Amino acid sequence: MKDESKEFEKKIKASLKKKYVLRLYIAGLTPKSTRAIINIEKICKEYLEGRYELEIIDIYQQPVLAKGEQIIAAPTLLKKLPLPLRKFIGDMSNTEKILVGLDLRPKPGKKRNISP
């Protein structure tokens, strides 16, 4: 049991050191794009303080970057690191969905294997 506790603690510490590289693709300063920026900045500050890099890219100003990442809708959040790569479309208002997708929360109904 002690070894399992130590292993779990190591995993927690390792996950706290992960650096998140995020790109938010927006289409101008529309109300939806503005909400997406506010929402993802709030999530980053609250759950990833000091361990994230967020780049906001306007697809009107830099269409080549959007094409290279195969962005088909805006706003779209792209999680580049840590792997796996993930995409989220919309105004980022569903915080729980974003946290699960960023692997900061377990999927609903999925139990973690934690021993007492």
Burial annotation 32-70 (CB, 10 A radius, 16+ → b, else e): bbeebbebbeebbeebbeeebebebbbbeeeeeebeebe
Per-residue pLDDT at 115: 39
Tens of pLDDT, residue by residue over 61-112, are 999 999 999 999 999 999 999 999 999 999 999 999 999 999 998 887 655 4
Backbone angles phi, psi at 83, to 5 degrees: -65, 155
- pTM (predicted TM-score): 0.79
Tell me, what's the pLDDT at 113? 45
Report which of residues 69 and 114 the model is more confident about. 69
Which CATH architecture best describes the domain 21-101? Answer: 3-Layer(aba) Sandwich (3.40)
The model's pLDDT over 23-64, given as tens digits with 9 standing for 90+, comes to 999 999 999 999 999 999 999 999 999 999 999 999 999 999
Q: In the chain, what are the domain boundaries?
A: 21-101
Q: Residue 18: which pLDDT band, with cuts at 50, 70 and 90?
A: confident
Q: Which residues contact 91 (CB under 8 A, 6 or more apart)?
A: 32, 35, 36, 39, 75
Q: How far apart are CA 19 and CA 23, in angstroms?
A: 13
